[in-house]
Structure 1
Amino acid sequence: MADGTRTRIINEALKLFAQRGYAATSIGAIEKAAGLSPRSGSLYTHFGSKEQVLAAAVDQAAGVAEGLDLSAMLPLGDLRAELTLIARCMLQLMHGWRDLIRVMMKESEGFPAVMADARSRLFATSYRFFADWLRARGDAGGRDYEAVATIWLGAVENYWVMTYVYDHPPFGIDDDRFITQWVDTLLTALEARQ
């Protein structure tokens, strides 16, 4: 039960931080949202501070990312299918990180160490995976796969932020349309240098 309570505290705190901001979210509000007695101090039986709750949210999100092993699903024998899987997984991960991403956007300056850990554990590993995956399938022509990964995963991130944070999908494009064109243009770019 304690693990369930801890998880509930993390999830509810993260929602509140994303909606209200970290400073505007009280311990009592977190306790109430998590089904604990408000202003009872019961949060402190699980965490030493509000910042520890935020750090635990990063740990939880990173655990989800680390638990997703795309390399176990690949190769599929079809580059288009593999790229589609990668794009869909990235969007799905970002959906799962929605509240944390909102907090990262709002609170990055206030918690530089926690947010640097979040960026490293959530996004840097995705970029490294994709750059290495591209390199393993690429030509021997010395392409800068770190830059290629940055461009294409950056496009996924931008689409997701515009669509799911700002609620303004560019041109009204949905996920399927975005992914199809993301894959097509990346395939074209990769083939152009071979």
Structure 2
Amino acid sequence: MSRRDEIIDVALRLFAERGYKATTITQIEAAAGLSPGAGGLYRHIGSKRELLVAAFDRVLDSRRAAQNMPRITDLDDPRIAISVAGRAVLAYVAADRDLYRLVLRGGDLPVDLSDVYQRLFQPGFDEVAGWLAQLAGDRPGFDATAVAAVALSSLFYFAISEFTYGCPPGHVEQERFLAAWTAGLLAQLGV
């Protein structure tokens, strides 16, 4: 990991904990092991806003890289594919925990959150809706877009509830949640 990436990680953690506006460059420098107030951060990145944009861009880059990995759609058994997909979404959210915490704080971010949504989240919903439509085939009345929205939203809420409140919804552990989530999605698909 580069020094720049380390600084982005530290800044993102502080933004998520304290809020974007409440976090100072001096605090970021201190937490990143730089001399506070000496301007060392600027050797690695141009501004506080650039730190935020770099954090979002890094997540987008990791999602693009994941698109080059073996596809879940290549799995023959829909039961396994759906279970793997659920675990993958939970892993994405866990890996980007501070980013999600920051976005949930909302309000004081100097970025257009609707643009962030369109770039960060909507492609995943579209991809899952297409995949579910493919799995459902010509099943009459199947609304892949709505089913994808419900399926992904429940996964996001599960993960976010764990790191926001310290426990999953209903105190249901992840394995039980994923089993129920998979069964519900398979029922929607008629599998």
Return the TM-score normalized by structure 2.
Answer: 0.91
- The alignment status of 1:23 with 2:21, answered yes or no, reads yes
C-alpha RMSD over aligned residues: 1.8
- Paired residue for 1:50? 48
Q: Report the CA distance shift for 1:142/1:189 in structure 2 as closer, same or farther (over 3 A).
A: closer
Aligned counterparts of 1:128 and 1:38: Cα–Cα separation in 2: 44
Q: Which runs of 5+ in 1 are unaligned?
A: none
- The alignment status of 1:163 with 2:162, answered yes or no, reads yes
**Partners of 1:159 and 1:170 within 8 A in 2:** yes
Aligned counterparts of 1:53 and 1:187: Cα–Cα separation in 2: 41
- The alignment status of 1:188 with 2:183, answered yes or no, reads no
- Paired residue for 2:86? 87
Per-residue CA deviations over 1:122-142 (Å, capped at 9, x if unaligned) read 211211110111111113225
Q: Report the CA distance shift for 1:163/1:52 in structure 2 as closer, same or farther (over 3 A).
A: same
- For these two proteins, the number of residue pairs brought into alignment is 189
- Paired residue for 1:76? 75
Superposed structure 1 runs of 4+ greater than 6 Å apart: none
Tell me how far 1:143 sits from its aligned partner.
2.6
Tell me how far 1:52 sits from its aligned partner.
0.9
- Paired residue for 1:176? 175
- Paired residue for 2:123? 125
Tell me how far 1:117 sits from its aligned partner.
3.8
Q: Which runs of 5+ in 2 are unaligned?
A: none
Tell me how far 1:89 sits from its aligned partner.
0.4
Tell me how far 1:39 sits from its aligned partner.
0.8
Percent identity (aligned)? 34
Stretch of structure 1 that moved more, 159-168 or 173-182: 159-168
**Partners of 1:27 and 1:50 within 8 A in 2:** yes
Q: Report the CA distance shift for 1:160/1:74 in structure 2 as closer, same or farther (over 3 A).
A: same
Tell me how far 1:191 sits from its aligned partner.
0.9
- Bigger relative CO (Cα 8 Å, ≥ 6 apart): 2
SS at match of 2:2: helix
Q: Report the CA distance shift for 1:149/1:109 in structure 2 as closer, same or farther (over 3 A).
A: farther
- Paired residue for 2:35? 37
Q: Report the CA distance shift for 1:84/1:166 in structure 2 as closer, same or farther (over 3 A).
A: same
1:63 to 61, 64, 67: 61
